[in-house]
Structure 1
Amino acid sequence: MPALSATSKGAATRDAILDHAYAIACSAGLEGLSIGALAHAVGMSKSGVFAHFGSREDLQLAVLETAAQRFVSHVFQPAVRRPRGLARLRAVIEQWFDWVRHEDDGGCLFLAAVSEYDDRPGPQRDLLLRQDRQWRQALAKAVSLAIEEGELRPDIDVEQLVFEIYALPLLVHHDAGLYGYEAARSRGIRAFERLIEAAALP
């Protein structure tokens, strides 16, 4: 097997650091992510971590980007393989409900980050806003395709329906920790189907 190049080794090390940083941030939040704790977790010096990320802020932004890539891979990429229309929209919601399980990583990084940065202007908040808008746009696209397929009424307020659909994974996440995931998911699915029923063609 050929030896890895210095560039490949650097990328692999950076990915390993981000894996550990993501795990820490899921439990402690982005503000709980310290270079010292991360360096200890990956068995590196602080200067070694700083060689890959010029600042704690750069590290936080990279973790948010990593989280977004994982979210898109888990929620939206499987859904686009489904037929356009309600089948695809349902797949998005089912995958999103599955995402909120967080059995292995301690919690949803995005919900924690929004709580941390919703009233704190800066690059972290700006990135969160861009990511959030992209996901709402993806939901709006799925709703619009369902309209084009004749499965939803053409006169529905797409933005309002997206708002209501988007609220469901947030509430499922909230209830899953307090009352159990399966019960929360079941209620989330029922709530989603009621929204679709109200928006469907007669």
Structure 2
Amino acid sequence: MSDTAIDRRRARGDASRRVILESATDLASVEGLDGLTIGRLAESSGMSKSSIATLFGGKEGLQLAAVQAAADIFREAVVDPARELPRGIARLAKLLRSALDYSRDRVFTGGCFFAATAADMDSKPGPVRDAVRGWLRDWYGYLEAQVRFAAEAGQIRADAATVRRLAFELIALDNEANARSLLTGEDAPYEIAAAAMRERLLQVGAKAEDLQSLA
């Protein structure tokens, strides 16, 4: 087989993989990772079971690939835009707004992919739960790091304990907005959460001009 033919075959495989993972991540956000099987995905995506099995090897391989694909989408939607701003309070505010928008705009039909799948996998040990847990640990840690940078730069008043608690409160507001909107079908929870986040950051000394993303 020529190099050109190999490249074309690889390109077709990559395209098929992208299409399948788009369907897989969206399906998992609604039905959970445990419900993400080759048969169920073949039904929802229109791809054959054999094609999916060839690309991912089995249910666990498919689930792990879906987690990675969802992480990439979240990074592009939430984390990368915030990195255009300096570390600290301005980046934190942008991260929080982007996280709310990611859920509100239904990047995934079931809202936040990781909120949905964490609830699905939290009592099921194994590589898939480890992947979800690892991503959540990284996301929570990254957001907490921005709170810490803000404190160290004098942008907010917070000791080590307050940094951890404040990060927890901000994440909880984001998660509740996601859950409440999915339940009610309304956008209001996102604006309530944004206002509460802004108020909480103002309480610890953040400047209003650094919180424009949450205004």
TM-score of the aligned structures, taking structure 1 as reference length: 0.89
Higher deviation after alignment, 115-124 or 3-12: 3-12
Q: Does 1:148 align with 2:156?
A: no
Distance in 2 of aligned mates of 1:16 and 1:180: 27
Distance in 1 of aligned mates of 2:10 and 2:188: 47
TM-score of the aligned structures, taking structure 2 as reference length: 0.84
Deviation beyond 6 Å, 4+ runs, structure 1: none
Partner in structure 1 of residue 90 of structure 2: 87
Q: Which runs of 5+ in 2 are unaligned?
A: 208-215
Change (3 A) 1:131 1:181: same
User: Which of the residues 129, 134, 149 maps onto 1:130?
Assistant: 134
CA shift digits 1:54-100 (9 cap, x unpaired): 11011011101111111111111101102332111100000011011
Distance in 2 of aligned mates of 1:145 and 1:181: 34
Equivalent AA in structure 2 for residue 71 of structure 1: F
Higher relative contact order (CA 8 A, sep 6+): 2
Partner in structure 2 of residue 116 of structure 1: 120
Give matches, 1:90-105, under 5 Å: 90-103=93-106, 105=108
Q: Which runs of 5+ in 1 are unaligned?
A: none
Q: Does 1:23 align with 2:34?
A: no
Partner in structure 2 of residue 32 of structure 1: 35
- State the identity as a percent: 35
Distance in 2 of aligned mates of 1:66 and 1:49: 15
How big is the shift at 1:144? 2.0
User: Which of the residues 163, 169, 186 maps onto 2:191?
Assistant: 186
Please say if residues 92 and 143 of structure 2, whose CA atoms lie closer than 8 Å, have aligned partners that are also in contact.
yes
Distance in 1 of aligned mates of 2:37 and 2:185: 31
Change (3 A) 1:33 1:154: closer
Please say if residues 104 and 187 of structure 2, whose CA atoms lie closer than 8 Å, have aligned partners that are also in contact.
no
Partner in structure 1 of residue 63 of structure 2: 60
How big is the shift at 1:51? 0.6
CA shift digits 1:144-165 (9 cap, x unpaired): 2212332112525222211111
Partner in structure 1 of residue 165 of structure 2: 160
Higher deviation after alignment, 90-99 or 137-146: 137-146
User: Which of the residues 186, 196, 200 maps onto 1:195?
Assistant: 200
What is the SS of the residue equivalent to 1:84?
coil
Distance in 1 of aligned mates of 2:202 and 2:105: 29
Give the superposed CA RMSD: 2.2
How big is the shift at 1:181? 4.0
